[in-house]
Chain A
């Protein structure tokens, strides 16, 4: 009897369990749906609008939303609908690049700090120093030095978000390093490189993924704020932030300039935050109450 039981019963694989829990998590599913829609809009931009995001219509400046100009026009006569649609491309790209760069730098620094105590103190002090600046303000200062360009926005925001990733990775490494299986791996003669990449890094993956989804969201918001303030992406490149630059001056006469692109920012950031929240529940049940 026990023989048949053991042969038929198979524990569900961790991957299967993970997928099952992911599919059941409402937060993740809503978040993924929103993000997929935004990505779809970014890909299908030329189909969704027949206008050129760089074309201006000087006759129809500051036109409120109507049938021809769904989201209205700004003070130069740019069609805001077209620019919001195309803006999704560069805004998503910026967010993605910032996440990738700050993630990579953060993981490298975090691993070094967690693994080599001698370097730890120095790097952590520098990161503490960076974290002493409120994020947007640091980004603004970096942009003042680097100059208003798309690539500089990516660089500045990557620098701003690196410390938070490094801290998370470092704290996980410090915990895992003390566990018995790492000791066992080292006792069996595993090299440092092998221990780090084979045993420690995979365990950092969950917090990194959670952190990444929040950084993606934060960097889209930050890019929008920087460009809105005129120190981010220059207005001729359409991002959700840069197309609103005008809206600051015309906030009372033409509120639609900020309304629609801002809504696009909010919806996509909401999608990413929901995804992050859900992932945290699924990947790290200990943090569920947070």
Chain B
């Protein structure tokens, strides 16, 4: 296991380097002079030169790249001249709603998705199975902001049990926070749950056709025990691997949903930064999320091996 861990960690290195390179290229791909674009048309040539020097953009490209990597290595994501603070600090200030939203939607999507998947697999080729499968195609096709609109109209405008938008920070009470995040989390959670339901269904169907399930049934175990103890544990392995993917979609989806529900999170910060042409901030957030995504997928890979002793450490 230790050997496998080390191997996986080494394999992580090139991906992280390339993720870092993408972030570096982002600024260099901007057509024209990024500094002039950032400062706007009123800026004098002196201002532009000074900022360019401060950002180190007047150095040779290769030196810039080395400096970029050494900064990343120290966990420095740059400085936002618009927000007058380091990018990492700005991200940290915006992290709470995004993390909580992602966590709540992950909770909703896995609970909903796995139960729908099991139900469909156990009641294969019945109305219930058809309903779950239809819902899953529908879920793949709904734009998140459209579903958000429907939820807002139903739960916030018509029955008025949940707030229309806005965020209550955790410092003002956890229940209020959950209330303010419920609709956005339900929006993202429902859409992703359909994907998990599909995976669970197909994985369960495969496991349920195995010999050891027949043995379990033959020795007189209750259906409940067969499904939850014998089948689900094995079916969970492929499900665990898609959770990494789901997390990526949730973080992407958070950008859209945060905008609709006016949540002051990282997603909104990206869009605001693009509008301000605050490129260090855009770059920083992108890298931050990519690093989390890579790290989570790494954990999922480890989990995969931990869950299934049959998987060889390759």
A residues near B (Cβ < 8 Å) are: 125-126, 128-130, 132-138, 140-141, 143-147, 217, 221, 224-225, 228-231, 244, 247-248, 251-252, 255, 258-259, 262-263, 265-266, 269-270, 273-274, 277, 289-290
Contact = CB atoms under 8 A, between A and B. Distances in A.
Given A125-B18, A266-B146, A289-B206, A144 B279 contact: yes
Interface in B270-285: 270-271, 273-275, 279, 282-283
Contacts of B159: none
Given A140-B274, A141-B270, A290-B202, 12 more contacts: A129-B18, A132-B290, A133-B286, A133-B290, A136-B252, A143-B274, A224-B143, A244-B145, A247-B149, A255-B149, A274-B137, A289-B202
B307 interface: no
A137 B18 contact: no
Contacts of A217: 140-141
B149 A130 contact: no
Contact of B293 (A132, A136, A290): A132
Interface of B: 14-15, 17-19, 21-22, 26, 29-31, 137-138, 140-146, 149, 152-153, 157, 164, 198, 202, 205-206, 248-249, 251-253, 255-256, 259-260, 270-271, 273-275, 279, 282-283, 286, 289-290, 293-294
B14 A125 contact: yes
A225 B17 CA distance: 29
Nearest to B23: A141
Contact of B256 (A132, A225, A270, A289): A225
B252 A137 contact: yes
B149 A145 contact: no
A134 B293 contact: yes
Contacts of B138: 270
Contacts of B29: 145-146
A258 B252 contact: no
B137 A136 contact: no
B163 to A, nearest CB: 12
A138 B19 CA distance: 11
Contact of B142 (A147, A229, A259, A266): A266
A290 B198 contact: yes
Contacts of A231: 271, 274
B290 A228 contact: no
Nearest to A224: B143
A274 B137 CA distance: 7
Nearest to A277: B137
15 contacts: A125-B15, A133-B290, A134-B248, A135-B248, A136-B253, A137-B252, A138-B286, A140-B270, A141-B270, A251-B149, A252-B164, A262-B145, A262-B146, A265-B143, A270-B137
